[in-house]
Chains A and B, each alone.
Chain A
Amino acid sequence: TTDEIRCSATQEQLRGKLQQLRVRAMLMMRALRVAKKELKTIVTHAVTAGNSLNVTLISLKSQLEYLRGNFRKAIKVLNQCAAIPPPSLTYGPSLGVMYYNNLGVIHLGLGKPTVACLYLQKALQETQVAEDPSSTQSGDTLSSRPLYQLSSNVQPELYYNLGVTLLHMNKPDKAFDFLLEVLQVYSMNPRLWLRLAECCIAVHKSGLGEDIASKKSIVQGTVGVGIHRKICLATCVSDHNKKHYDPQSESDAAFPEPTLEFARLCLRNALTLLPENVSTASLTDEQEASGVMPELYPAGPSSPLRGTEVVSLRVSALACSAYVSLCLSDYSTALRHAETLLVAHPKIPGVYKLLGHLYAGEALISLGKVSEAVAHLDPRLVGDLTLSPSAQEAGQSPPFNISNQGWYPGTTATAMQVMRYNLSVAYTVRGELEKANNLLKEVWTESNGNMPAQVIMLAMYIQLRMGHVDVMKNIVKKNILLT
């Protein structure tokens, strides 16, 4: 009967909608194999029923390819949007917003943040265009619009994407403003707090120059002429520490500006929000297929975090906390964070292990416990410098190409040099000048003339402490061009 036919037709529609929701949930859980199967059935259904793909399905297909790491294919699928009829006005967000945003997301995955930024800004423009025609009446722009239009407002999501992209493009001040807007809506996302802190650190660092200073800054200049000429060395070559110039400009640490004090607060929030004792085991294929849910932790507006991601977030947050504490001269806190970092997880990436030991060493030297510092600054502790978690999990995770941002040190050799240099500083402070000098000579010869200024300064310092002023002057003559 017609009634039954109509009933089954709506049942089919409902089933289709439920399947779509299921695929969306599986993509958020990163259960990719099951999602692929389900999506295939939906698409074949739609095709056999004679309907062309609608916007939702194209977006889901594209997202699946993106999550699997096939970025080019994802872009191709997304471009199919041009071929289908435009979706009805009740679809939200609009086609333009969706298209440009997702393109931007894919390009950041490809490792091209500048292109991604362009697309995301275009997406933002599209949101403003979509709003204009409906805001014809003055006042009351909210209640004159239907509910579905209001719920399609994705401004926080766009701001988040844009903020993270700008951070990767090394524009931390702009990124900070965008991410601060997202904070108004999603204040319980630990990753967002970490990104804000990273913006603050990047702003602070951009005022410093390189971690490894150039030789020119070693000598301030000369004074006097003739026999009365004096040479004046610099007080420091690279000053990471927060300078306190005038007390009047000291604003409240909680005032949202990209300062190190604000970074400290952000990192504290991030560490508090991260759940403890997460399981990092990932689901097997059988478990995925049978509908077992992994442990997920909310991180709006992004997809929820899995156990491994929580661990790596904690590692990053601890490293940043130790760094910020050192810059603010809070050595005991820095030591605490560094030690927590080193025991956070049995398999933390090599880079973070290196940083943990370096920060702990520096904190201990400043706290006067040089012998413990020496234990941390052991060059044998430098392993291989990987940024991502250990290799056995790499098989599952897609090859996201966010580059190392040219992070120094790029190789194990340079990392070893940094470690040895810091160790010789420890020996110097303790008074073992000979030992320090020998170690420094190793670093000197290894760097092949391309040594950082700090090495030269330490060499000069050691010679001066040992009373060899002429050796110091030799060093200056050979390595630094005097005006």
Chain B
Amino acid sequence: MNLDVSNHPPIDTTALRLNLAELLSERPDTAKSAIPVIYSHPQPSPSSGLLSEVSQVKRTCEALLCGPRQTLAQQYFTPEIIRLTPPLHIAEDELVWITPVDRAEHKVMYDSSMCILSGGDAEAKRLMAKAFKETLSLPQQQHLLAELDKDPRMVYHTGLTPPKLPDLVEHNPLIAIEVLLKLMQSSQITEYFSVLVNMEMSLHSMEVVNRLTTAVELPSEFVHLYISNCISTCETIKDRYMQNRLVRLVCVFLQSLIRNKIINVQELFIEVQAFCIEFSRIREAAALFRLLKQLDSGDTQATQEPAKK
């Protein structure tokens, strides 16, 4: 291979050079600033080495060109910036000071009264709220009654108000009876009575009043008012079948009241008598009438004349 190029004309390298310049112009200055590390540094005195000239050259070339990683010929150096490391942060009061204290003073305080009563409370309230809307099952009723019995003041926390009484009476008359009995001492009872009196007459409400009358001493005007209400309801009801039913109920109710001597017949005599005559077609009304007669004649021998139609 002939390496002698002196005969050949020099090739035009301007295109190459332009390309190179263009490429280099896109690079940042730092990328263009490297220079090689090897520089010629000949010894002034002639060498007295053991090796011949050629082998010296070869040796030098090997040292420069061969190597495991970056050979000396490939290394370069660039201007270096001095980068100072930042100092450690100075803090005034950084370390932790230990203060010994009597740790036995730090006792854990338990509130043992938590969650004892409120559970029962919440349960009773829940059942009561349910009782306004639907009939409770027997175990539920018993549970609620037991809760009410346990704590006499509980009845005030059940969320019962006079307007809600009719619902309670309709769905759970037994509960209503117990609650009202417990509320007898309170000042609100008159309000409850008025509600009871004015509510729509029904089997349940009569049952409640009946039980109330047997259990406690009810104010007499209340009972009278109730009876008047019942009678007027019977008279005004349109449905024949319902009327009959209600009349029968009222009669039984009145009989029980009379027999138990809860009401004084004399006070209501005329009203009840009129009622019986009006509904004389019904067996119970006739029986009630006979009872009235009996009492009347039995009570007063001579003073009062038996009422005649």
Q: Which residues of A come within 8 Å of B, CB atoms? A: 17, 20, 24, 30, 55-56, 59-60, 63, 66-67, 87-88, 90-95, 97-98, 101-102, 104-105, 108-109, 146-149, 151-152, 154, 157-158, 160-161, 164-165, 167-168, 191, 194-195, 198, 201, 205, 211-212, 220, 222-238, 240, 301-303, 309, 312-313, 316, 319-320, 323, 326-327, 351-352, 354-355, 358-359, 361-362, 365-368, 370, 387-388, 397-398, 400, 402, 404-405, 407-409, 418, 421-422, 425, 428-431, 452, 454, 457-458, 461, 464-465, 469, 472-473
Contact = CB atoms under 8 A, between A and B. Distances in A.
Interface of B: 28-30, 33, 35, 37-43, 46-47, 49, 56-57, 59-60, 63-64, 72, 75-106, 108
A211 B103 contact: no
A24 B87 contact: no
A400 B43 contact: no
Nearest to A308: B92
Contact of B100 (A59, A66, A108, A457): A59
Given A92-B101, A220-B37, A388 B82 contact: no
A228 B60 contact: yes
B33 A387 contact: no
B52 to A, nearest CB: 11
A362 B81 contact: yes
A280 to B, nearest CB: 14
Nearest to B42: A227
Given A211-B85, A228-B56, A429-B33, A97 B43 contact: no
Contact of B103 (A92, A160, A320, A422): A92
B84 A355 contact: yes
B120 to A, nearest CB: 33
Nearest to B94: A302
B100 A92 contact: yes
Given A233-B37, A323-B86, A405-B87, A225 B103 contact: no
B85 A205 contact: yes
Choose among B41, B57, B81 the residue with the greatest number of A CB atoms under 10 Å from its CB.
Answer: B81
A216 to B, nearest CB: 16
Contact of B56 (A225, A351, A422, A464): A225
A98 B30 CA distance: 57
A288 B93 CA distance: 19
A220 B75 CA distance: 11
Contacts of B90: 312, 387-388, 400, 402
A93 B96 CA distance: 13
B100 A191 contact: no
Contacts of A302: 93-96
Given A211-B85, A228-B56, A91 B39 contact: no
Given A92-B103, A147-B103, 6 more contacts: A90-B103, A165-B95, A312-B89, A351-B87, A400-B92, A458-B80
A95 B93 CA distance: 22
B287 to A, nearest CB: 76
Nearest to B64: A223
A452 B82 contact: yes
A454 B33 CA distance: 16
Contacts of A164: 94-95
Given A148-B106, A226-B43, A232-B37, A431 B77 contact: no
Given A211-B84, A405-B88, A160 B99 contact: no
Contact of B76 (A60, A154, A235): A235
Chain A interface mostly: helix
Contacts of A194: 89
Nearest to A304: B93
8 contacts: A157-B98, A161-B96, A191-B89, A211-B84, A231-B39, A232-B72, A320-B86, A368-B30
B77 A233 contact: yes
Contact of B88 (A154, A160, A198, A240): A198
B35 A461 contact: yes
A102 B82 contact: no
Contacts of A313: 89, 91
Given A148-B104, A237-B80, A309 B91 contact: yes
B48 to A, nearest CB: 9
Nearest to B49: A225
A9 B139 CA distance: 57
Contact of A323 (B40, B75, B85): B85
Given A97-B98, A102-B98, A421-B82, A223 B89 contact: no
A240 B83 contact: yes
Contacts of A236: 77-78, 80
Contacts of A226: 42-43, 46-47, 49, 56
Given A301-B96, A429-B29, A404 B87 contact: yes
A454 B82 contact: yes
Contacts of B91: 191, 309, 312-313
B89 A425 contact: no
A88 B92 CA distance: 33
A302 B92 CA distance: 11
Contacts of A418: 82, 84
Contact of A465 (B35, B40, B103): B35
Choose among B33, B38, B86, B104 the residue with the greatest number of A CB atoms under 10 Å from its CB.
Answer: B86
Contacts of A92: 100-101, 103
B29 to A, nearest CB: 5
A391 to B, nearest CB: 15
A238 B29 contact: no
Choose among B47, B75, B91, B104 the residue with the greatest number of A CB atoms under 10 Å from its CB.
Answer: B91
Contact of B37 (A87, A235, A370): A235
B106 A151 contact: yes
Contacts of B64: 223, 230
Contact of B95 (A55, A147, A160, A355): A160
A397 B95 CA distance: 16
A34 B190 CA distance: 66
A368 B28 contact: yes
Contacts of A225: 43, 47, 49, 56
A55 B97 CA distance: 14
A337 B100 CA distance: 43
A105 B63 contact: no
Contacts of A222: 41
List of 8 A-B pairs having minimum Cβ-Cβ separation, nearest first: A226-B47, A148-B103, A368-B28, A224-B60, A90-B104, A316-B89, A231-B41, A157-B96
A25 to B, nearest CB: 11
A212 B88 CA distance: 18
Contacts of A431: 29
Contacts of A407: 87
